[in-house]
Structure 1
């Protein structure tokens, strides 16, 4: 493979996503190794531009940097920071769940990235293990802003069309609503998956997954990994809450990481809220 686009030589195919193919590239002049996403489906051109517009302004240590966006020969190209290493999804499939210490570390890094996005009124809308890579020294980087949007911007998809990855979607997303709280639900799903190696909502069809999610009906992570701390279980419980108004924010997750004892004080309303969420549907 020696195809060259705008001075970048494509050296290796890295994978494909919903909108395009991703390659490792190298610029002969700057000697910079990058990741290049090439749009493969023309009907997604508007989303591809949206990804560039959203990501271009972002500067955060746990968000992949966008270097350039251009159209060459009718082909839309995103040039991004190249991050060596697997995604969290790839890692857990090969090696099993992370240690609790490692999971908390990555949780804090991703929560920090979400706090930054949400402070800029940006909702990621597709936070999942496959969109987070391990950088150097175990540092996580959030990728793929193809579905991201400003919190108050108009929908880019038609009514009734689901946006996101079903198993990590919040209950309100099945009704077409996405807010910063939806990202925090996905953060809870991510934490559960890092700790156990499984997703909390494992139905075989999208509708079955949706029914489980809308009741917050999931197996306690302690059943899958009995050595987990009660603190991790409580944190998941406070993120996977049906009512988005009662969910922890990304900033609150950061605060808890600084002082986990906040989760030790039992709240007698939590079990009632959980039971009510399951009975509503």
Structure 2
């Protein structure tokens, strides 16, 4: 491209070139009338016809991303068919310039950087925007040395009609997530890229090297070298968090990029203290042997983001079974008008198990598809939870348990995970316990939900069950907002409505 230094673009005089990339050049500019400095990004394309409206729409989207750690876009335009963006000028360069390649940073500084970038990205993700090109070169330093994330214009170019080619070319291969390489970027892709950056800051080297094709292959199939091989004294807690963030499957990473930053900070704060495992409130974390850190798919997912582990099939029954203590089997009320045993599995329970597991799996799987839309993503998981809780509450603990375990198993198969990893994951155990505890409501209500007290009892027990189950499956790698969204809201809002409808149908059936 021709150096535009000395030229005028809109109301700005281009002083000199600051840097250039695959999609644009950035110049230091000065407003002709106000004499204020700005960074002018000039895109490597020309806009004509329908492309102009596409560019303007995407530019407006970027301009509305206002956050203390995002470089602000103050103006944009098209001159002589050349699109450009006007951004705040960050005078202290980039983090790549501040810390050249090969530099190892102290963990406290890495956490500070990660928290600032994660805050900016979480805001963007909440606005349904994915960055797609996280790297130190796109992290600027403001006047107070605060980190400012730049180059959201990459997403602008990728999503507009300016570059109609495959989206998998968007981004920098050294930091690109497996799903982004496949042309399916989502918020979790930014988490993976930030994980690669953090890995580089901690160890002084990126996890993978090679040509574009070699890098893509490694990102998709090769486990990153364990950090302890590069930093023998690194805390196993920190290494565990990094392993989760770098999981190949986006559904196995932290539920959000903010959760990743929070977990990294927690791992640092608890390095010398007892660390509670995210899947157990009763056990402390013991450093795993190196082999357990070499395969990220062994580590985590959350909604769709699990923390998986080893175990036995028997453990599911023993840990999820809440015995009455006296060996007796309680009778419950009615399904329709039939007397059933709370612990038996009849035809209605079997049908409900199959339908419930399929519905639960479908809703949970949709949450991954809606990964870029936070509201739709959260709603899908909440609806999956209420399916489990409702069936357990109405049809008994075994139906709730089966729906949770088999539903997650189906999701795992759809995501092409190994059967062993799927069945023995803590996510399955968490939802199994949630469904089982919800089913214990029948001990109190006898299956009759014809008054406010019975419905309130069901909602309370479901809140307890889902909170415990989600605690086991995810805590502490999700925030309180998500914990409430997946446990309290479904039980307080959806469950009473469904039980009211269910009771009306039972009454109607009885009167026929």
TM-score class, shorter-chain normalisation, is: 0.7 to 0.9
1:16 aligns with 2:20: yes
Distance, in Å, in 1 between the alignment partners of 2:293 and 2:241 is 16
1:230 Cα deviation from its structure 2 partner? 3.1
In terms of fraction of residues, the more strand-rich structure is 1
Distance 1:258 1:98, change over 3 A: closer
Give ranges in structure 2 of 5+ residues lacking alignment: 278-284, 299-416, 419-512
Distance, in Å, in 1 between the alignment partners of 2:89 and 2:251 is 36
Q: Residue in 2 aligned with 1:42?
A: 46
Aligned 8 A contact 2:47 2:82 in 1 = no
Correspondences of 1:93-242 after superposition (within 5 Å): 93=100, 96-148=103-155, 157-159=164-166, 161-202=168-209, 204-242=210-248
Distance, in Å, in 1 between the alignment partners of 2:104 and 2:47 is 37
Q: Residue in 1 aligned with 2:432?
A: none
Distance, in Å, in 1 between the alignment partners of 2:13 and 2:43 is 17
Q: Which has the higher contact order (CA 8 A, sep 6+)?
A: 1
Distance, in Å, in 1 between the alignment partners of 2:24 and 2:122 is 28
1:73 Cα deviation from its structure 2 partner? 3.0
Give ranges in structure 1 of 5+ residues lacking alignment: none
> 1:219-259 CA deviation, whole Å, 9 max, x = no partner?
12232233433333222111001121110121212432553
Aligned 8 A contact 1:54 1:148 in 2 = no
Distance 1:264 1:163, change over 3 A: farther
Distance 1:7 1:148, change over 3 A: closer
The two structures, once aligned, show a CA RMSD in angstroms of 3.3
Q: Residue in 2 aligned with 1:33?
A: 37
Distance 1:29 1:233, change over 3 A: same
Distance, in Å, in 2 between the alignment partners of 1:171 and 1:38 is 29
Which structure has the larger Rg over C-alpha atoms? 2
In terms of fraction of residues, the more helix-rich structure is 2
1:71 aligns with 2:78: yes
1:50 Cα deviation from its structure 2 partner? 6.2
Aligned 8 A contact 2:179 2:189 in 1 = yes
- How many residue pairs get aligned? The number is 275
Distance, in Å, in 2 between the alignment partners of 1:228 and 1:30 is 51
